[in-house]
Amino acid sequence: MPYERPENSGYAFLSGGGEMGELIRSLDWSLTGLGAPGTWPVSLKQMVSMMLTTRLPVLICWGKDYIQLYNDAFHPINGADKHPKAMGGTACDTYAEIWGTIGAMFEEVMTGKSLGFPDFMVQLERNGSLEDCYFDFSYSPITDEYGHTGGVLVICMETTGKVNAISEFQALNEELAAVNEELAASNEEYAATNEELASVNEELATTNEELKETQENLHGTNRELLESGLRLRTALDTIIRSEKLFRSIAVNIPNSLILVIDKEHRYQLVDGDLMEKLGYQKADYEGKHPTEIGQTERYLASKHLYDRMMDGEKFSIERKAVTGEYYIAHFVPIKNEHEEIDAGLVMVLDVTDIKKGQEESAKLAAIIDSSDDAIISKTFESVITSWNDSAERMFGYTADEIIGETIYKIIPPDRYDEEPGIISRIKNGERVEHYETKRVTKDGRLLDVSLTVSPVKDKQGNIIGISKIARDITEKKLDETRKNDFIGIVSHELKTPLTSLTAMVQLLNSRLKNHEDPFVPNLLAKANIQVKKMNTMINGFLNIARLESGKIQLDKKDFDLTRLVNDIIDETKLISAGYTINSLSCNPIMVNADEDKIGSVITNLLSNAVKYSEKGTTIEVLCEIEGDVAQVSVKDEGPGIREEDIEYLFDRFFRVEDPGASHVSGFGIGLYLSAEIVHRHNGIIRAESEIGKGSVFRFSLPYK
Ligand code: ADP
């Protein structure tokens, strides 16, 4: 603890200031050039007071000796070497090592100037060695009460740390800069190398492009070469093909001879299947003149034709050979690409078939024209395509008027619906024969015609049209009507005496059945059967007459078909001894029909079965329901019917020509009448039969 004089501590201006304050107070300032503090000039006192309270490093150097006073903050600047001697010491002593620098500055300040420098470097000896110390400092004059500069106020901040840090930073920066420079240099090198590489690349790219171009050029040239090669090839192929084609056409035209000659009439081509027949032996004529190959005579006969052809004339001639064949020869001049005739084509064709065909068709046309029947052909669209003289006579239209027109012109409107049916049958390859209908003439008269319609086929069998033969049967129809009327009248007239005769025979029969001479009842029974037969026949004729004059009426009612069948079987059994007739039906089948007429159908089928079969055989009758129809079938073990006759069985007056059945009486009207009755009930009747195996007749009626 420094000695402290009581008088120093009493100065208010020396109070405070921490350690340095205490030191200042403890010093005997009278021993210094400053003298006792009480004697100090006011400005010094004030300055010392301010210094002691300032936290910034402050040094006061007073008087000409620059006696020093400093505060706590300044203490470290002096370090261990200079403190505490510096307090109260002279500045030139304390800072001897830098006095050369700062002394002059102090002197300048004493003249009233202020000085200051940032980061001012001085080498101070303060901690045992010389140190580079940096300061931000300010030297300012302290003016006394007389206006003179009494001392120097030094306020300074040591910046050694900062400066060192900055210089270290700078050094680092420099190093960095150097590294950077190096890097930049290597970068530049890189860049240079890169540039070199880029330029090498560019060169390569250019070279590549050049190569590509050259290659493309080569490709192009190649392509062109290839294309022209191909064109050449195609042209050649075309020529070869054309020649081959021409030759194959020539060879394949049936019944032909093909000659191609040049301007000098030399053969260029001789081919065709007529070669040998026409005196061209199979030799190589090509390039040779006809006179060189022994054809002189023929050549001289044809030369004028060759000349005409070579003069540009195209013509044809027709010849008949001594052997009877017809030939047509076409002469065609052939031009080259300059439109000059340099060759000629002679095509000889055997047209014998065509000629004969023409003759045939002329004959046929003559036949058609002279036919009494109208012969008409038409398309599937019903357009008339041919019309013979008879058609003209019959219908009144000329061929010119009607060809190309519709067939409906000669069909009465109420029969228009016939045509589609006929066409569809023809399309199926069927033939419609003797179809009786009505047609209308140009002047509106109705004709009864019998039509036979057939498909017209080409050589391959394809149906290409329809031919119609129409026969005018108006007269025949009138005849038939007259005949029917006659039959009707006669049958009617016959029926009355026959009814009386039947009654008489039956009466006699009952009266004389017990006659002593058995011959009498026997004969009467036979007479009864014959009378019955005659009755059936006359009834048949009457029915025909009624049917055809439209007088037959159906009297429909509900009845049991099975019962009717069984009743008729029972009746038949009575008059047909020697036959086994089996009824295979048991369940009642109710139908709505004309019982009498259906009964006559069943009777007819059953009596035919009996009539045409041998005694001792079996007949089976079946009545059944088949879907929505009631069906009756009569099966016998008779002789059977030929297939070709079956379709005519239901025609009027049709009887199978069978010498074996010549003893069987009949007019061929039973099945006709049966079919008419069944059809009028909207039913179907048909027969199945095989020679030697018997027959089955079947009819069906709608079943409700
Ligand atoms: P017909 O009075 O001649 O018997 P139909 O119209 O009843 O007349 O029969 C026509 C023809 O059909 C007969 O002439 C006969 O040749 C043939 N026919 C009918 N039924 C049979 C049968 N069951 N077996 C063989 N032929 C038959």
Span 6-158 CATH architecture: 2-Layer Sandwich (3.30)
**Residue 602: CB within 6 Å of ligand 1?**
no
CA 387, CA 538: separation in Å to the nearest integer? 45
Q: Decide whether any atom of ligand 1 lies within 6 Å of the 698 Cβ.
A: no
**Residue 688 Cα to ligand 1 middle (Å):** 13
Q: Any idea which architecture 477-548 has in CATH?
A: Orthogonal Bundle (1.10)
Q: 503 C-alpha to center of ligand 1: Å?
A: 29
pTM reported for the whole predicted model: 0.41
pLDDT at 547 exceeding the cut of 80 = no
Could you tell me the pLDDT band of residue 481, with boundaries at 50, 70 and 90? Answer: confident
Domain map (residue ranges) of the chain = 6-158, 164-250, 253-354, 371-472, 477-548, 557-702
Residue 3: band (very low, low, confident or very high) from pLDDT cuts 50, 70, 90: very low
**Ligand 1 pocket, residue 636 CB under 6 Å:** yes
Count Cα neighbours of 102 within 13 Å in the Cβ-side half-sphere: 27
Average pLDDT over residues 636-658: 91
Percent of the chain scoring above 70 in pLDDT: 98
Question: What is the per-residue pLDDT for 686?
Answer: 95
157-216 pLDDT, tens digit per residue, is 888 888 888 878 888 878 877 887 887 787 788 788 788 888 888 888 887 888 788 788
pLDDT at 318 over 80: yes
Is the beta carbon of 666 within 6 A of some atom in ligand 1?
yes
CA angle 427–429–433, rounded 5-degree value: 105
Whether 608 is in the pocket of ligand 1, judged by its Cβ within 6 Å, is: yes
How far apart, in whole angstroms, are the C-alpha atoms of residue 171 and residue 267?
115
pLDDT of residue 250: 67
Alpha-carbon distance 538 to 487, whole Å? Answer: 9
Q: Which CATH superfamily hosts domain 253-354?
A: PAS domain (3.30.450.20)
* DSSP collapsed to 3 states, 364-411: HHHHHHHCCCEEEEECCCCEEEEECHHHHHHHCCCHHHHCCCEHHHHC
Ligand 1 nearest atom to the CA of residue 697, by list position: 23
Q: Which residue has the tokens 């930073």?
A: 169
Separation of alpha carbons 496 and 510, rounded Å: 21
Tens-digit pLDDT profile for residues 371-380: 889 999 999 8
* Mean per-residue pLDDT, 74-79: 88
User: Which CATH fold would you assign to the domain 557-702?
Assistant: Heat Shock Protein 90 (3.30.565)
Q: CB–CB of 480/516 below 8 Å?
A: no
Locate 477 and state its tokens: 């129809």
* Residue-level pLDDT at 292: 87
Most confident of 177-181, 244-248, 447-451, 514-518: 447-451
Tell me what pLDDT residue 6 has: 45
Q: Does the pLDDT value for residue 1 go beyond 50?
A: no
What pLDDT sits at residue 184?
A: 79
pLDDT at 679 over 60: yes
Q: What are phi and psi of 437, to 5 degrees?
A: -155, -170
Question: Is the CB of 674 inside a 6 Å radius of any atom of ligand 1?
Answer: no
Ligand 1 in reach of 656 Cβ (< 6 A)? yes
Higher pLDDT, 357 or 150: 150
User: Which residue's CA lies nearest to atom 24 of ligand 1?
Assistant: 612
Average pLDDT value for residue range 679-699? 94
In this model, does residue 4 exceed pLDDT 70? no
Task: Output the CA 668–ligand 1 centroid distance in Å.
Answer: 7
Residue 7's pLDDT is what? 59
Q: With cut-offs at 50, 70 and 90, classify the pLDDT of residue 90.
A: very high
Return the residue whose CA atom lies nearest to atom 2 of ligand 1. 666
Ligand 1 site, residue 695, Cβ cutoff 6 A:
yes
Q: Tens of pLDDT along 404-422?
A: 999 999 999 999 988 888 8
| Residue whose tokens read 């190398």 | 193
Distance separating alpha carbons of residues 59 and 38, to the nearest angstrom: 20
- Mean pLDDT for all residues in the chain: 87
Q: Candidates 655, 665, 669, 674: which one to mutate for ligand 1, based on the most atoms within 8 Å of Cβ?
A: 655
253-354 and 6-158 share a CATH fold: yes
**Gap from CA of 625 to ligand 1 centroid (Å):** 26
What percent of the chain stands above pLDDT 90? 35
Dihedral sign, CA of 96, 102, 104, 107? Answer: negative
Q: The domain at 371-472 falls in which architecture?
A: 2-Layer Sandwich (3.30)
Residue 638 CA: which ligand 1 atom is closest?
A: 24
CA 425 / ligand 1 centre spacing (Å): 28
601, pLDDT greater than 90:
yes
Pocket mutation for ligand 1, best pick of 543, 608, 650 (most atoms within 8 Å of C-beta):
608
Q: Is 563's C-beta closer than 6 angstroms to any atom of ligand 1?
A: no
- Which atom of ligand 1 has the smallest separation from the CA of 636? 23
598: number of Cβ within 10 Å: 27
State the pLDDT at residue 484.
76
